[in-house]
Structure 1
């Protein structure tokens, strides 16, 4: 099963150092039966894009949490795509997150297929979205528009072997 895991650049660097993504449980996004039922007309590629988009939204929240905790993280969303056995993934119960899964085992970096990251030109919009998250959560429509603006940026694709170069840039 392909799972998309929200991440940040500092968390990715820590995973590279540890040799695995963890600690568990990990929250990821995948093509789940609930997602397939909800998006009945979509093919596998479209459904995987939905899961990737959900993981990118979660990455934005991770960035905000890191900032709140004093971690200096570049305002770039990061999503790690990994192949995991079907067994350790259990679909999330939240109907708003039909693609959410909970992983109960760490993911070795050898299982990482790719990393998706915002390009540098997206940084101003991602920075604005991070700042707008609290107001968006309170129902402010302008703030929601700003947060949704982050999704206008497509994430760049990096192969597993390019991760060290990505972290140096």
Structure 2
């Protein structure tokens, strides 16, 4: 099962340092495995990420493949991260895709 976790760059940094996303973090799942449903879940998570920001900032959605959607999600389950290209991005814009190996570069620029 794929889950979409709305984060900020700061919470992504904390999860990366801890090696997991804590179980209390909000998460969204797609209604089915269609591209449309997965995109809808991604954008819903992006909206939730925007609500976590104090003013300007970049929306961040971590994607993970899990067996159960509940509980902490270890780094080995992380599949990708989607992030706004800049802090002034339009909320209707798509997020850029990054591999999890690029997370250190993303959070270094925060």
Q: TM-score normalised to the size of structure 1? A: 0.60
Runs of 4+ off more than 2 Å = none
Tell me by how many angstroms 1:26 deviates: 2.8
CA–CA distance in structure 2, aligned partners of residues 124 and 80 of structure 1: 20
- Structure 2 residue aligned with 1:2: 2
Tell me by how many angstroms 1:154 deviates: 1.1
- Structure 2 residue aligned with 1:12: 12
SS in 2 for 1:26: coil
CA–CA distance in structure 1, aligned partners of residues 25 and 105 of structure 2: 25
Matches within 5 A, 1:26-37: 26-32=25-31
Greater helix fraction, Structure 1 or Structure 2: 1
| Cα deviation 1:99-118 (Å, max 9, x = unaligned) | xxxx2x10001111000000
Tell me by how many angstroms 1:10 deviates: 0.3
Q: Tell me the number of residue pairs that the alignment of Structure 1 and Structure 2 aligns.
A: 109
Structure 2 stretches of 5 or more lacking a match? none
Question: Whose radius of gyration is greater, 1 or 2?
Answer: 1
Q: TM-score normalised to the size of structure 2? A: 0.89
CA–CA distance in structure 1, aligned partners of residues 57 and 84 of structure 2: 9
The CA RMSD measured in Å over matched residues stands at: 1.7
Structure 1 stretches of 5 or more lacking a match? 37-42, 68-73, 90-102, 126-148
Matches within 5 A, 1:16-165: 16-22=16-22, 24-32=23-31, 44-64=34-54, 75-85=57-67, 88-89=68-69, 103=70, 105-120=71-86, 123-125=87-89, 149-151=90-92, 153-165=93-105
